[in-house]
Amino acid sequence: MRLEGREIANGLAFPEGPIALADGSVIVVEIEGGRLTRVLPSGKKEVIAKLGGGPNGAAIGPDGKCYVCNNGGFSWHRDASNFARPTGRAEDYTTGRIEQVDLDTGAFKTLYDSCGGISLKGPNDIVFDAKGGFWFTDLGKTYGRLMDRGAVYYARTDGSMIKEAIFPIMTPNGVGLSPDGRTLYVSETETSRIWSYPVIGEGEVAKEPWPSPNGGKLLHGLPGYQRFDSLAVEAGGNICVATLVRGGISVFSPDGQLVESHEADEVYCTNICFGGADMRTAFITLSGTGRLIAVEWPRPGLALNDSRTARR
């Protein structure tokens, strides 16, 4: 089925990481633009902070601040139609990082740029749990003939703890939690696979034995050449994964069945979040063409563990 929605904003520099706020506005990152931006219901854009690098995913913490996965920056290609796509590591790249942003003032600081002496490579997506900590993926970086192996981390908002929960994993991108918080979902870009992990403690997951390549239970893998990006979870437990190449949203049940596919009009359908009074509005980023759209979703999304986003 086609994604039939209304365009809220265009002209964004590769938007991602949408956050639907209770006041009707939507925060997005602009990866190419290096910005954290608020989009008002009218479509007006307000820059919250100029972060630099490559702000890639974002979430509101229990303290009301915004926590941003900054991948450190990409190099970019724009074709004759002005369609944008990332092509590798930025020339001025130094490291990836997790940034904390004050939404009221725009002030920001780096909270983490390494774990156990290993620098973060390309933090990508983030989700908070009910205890106020957050899981985030690190996709890694591709440069020349080399590709970093990715990881999934868990951290606290006060800067006191970061731990590596899953390593190695191939290009981990989207991350989300089941409605009861007991299962962590991670999507892999290059393999178009989604994995599940039982959460057994703060920043700890149970792992499947070898031959699982990363300790996860394979929930689903799409055939053919497709790529997975970020994800969001519905209130009923379905996992909605932004899907590249055959751009759109793929919806999977908690037991791994493909429920439905929603086709977008471009290949870079990169992220989805839920908002609105009944949590049945899906806000979706179409990044190559720089758009944010709103789609009436057939089921309500899951209310997130934060202080400012839309609630049911």
The predicted pLDDT at position 311 comes to 44
Tokens standing for residue 228:
């997975």
**Confidence at residue 50, expressed as pLDDT on a 0 to 100 scale:** 98
Give dist(CA 226, CA 178) in Å, integer. 24
DSSP one-letter string for 175-192 = EEE-TTS-EEEEEETTTT
Closest CA to 11 of 1, 28, 230, 114: 28
What phi and psi, each to the nearest 5 degrees, are found at residue 175?
A: -140, 140
Q: In what order do the strands lie in the sheet with 97-101?
A: 55-60, 66-70, 97-101, 108-112
Among residues 43, 52, 55, the alpha carbon closest in space to that of 16 is found at 55
Render each residue's pLDDT in the chain as its tens digit; 312 residues.
999 899 999 999 999 999 999 999 999 999 999 999 999 999 999 999 999 999 999 999 999 999 999 999 999 999 999 999 999 999 999 999 999 999 999 999 999 999 999 999 999 999 999 999 999 999 999 999 999 999 999 999 999 999 999 999 999 999 999 999 999 999 999 999 999 999 999 999 999 999 999 999 999 999 999 999 999 999 999 999 999 999 999 999 999 999 999 999 999 999 999 999 899 999 999 999 999 999 999 999 999 987 566 543
Q: pTM of this prediction?
A: 0.97
Exposed/middle/buried for 143, CB within 10 Å: 0-12, 13-18, 19+? middle
Helices and strands in the chain: count of H runs, count of E runs: 0, 31
Where helices occur in 70-219 by DSSP H, the ranges are none
Residue with tokens 């981990």: 172
Q: For residues 142 and 148, what is the distance between their CA atoms, to the nearest angstrom? A: 6
Name all contacts of 84-87 with Cβ < 8 Å and 24+ positions apart. 84/13, 84/14, 84/32, 84/287, 84/288, 84/290, 85/268, 85/288, 86/14, 86/31, 86/32
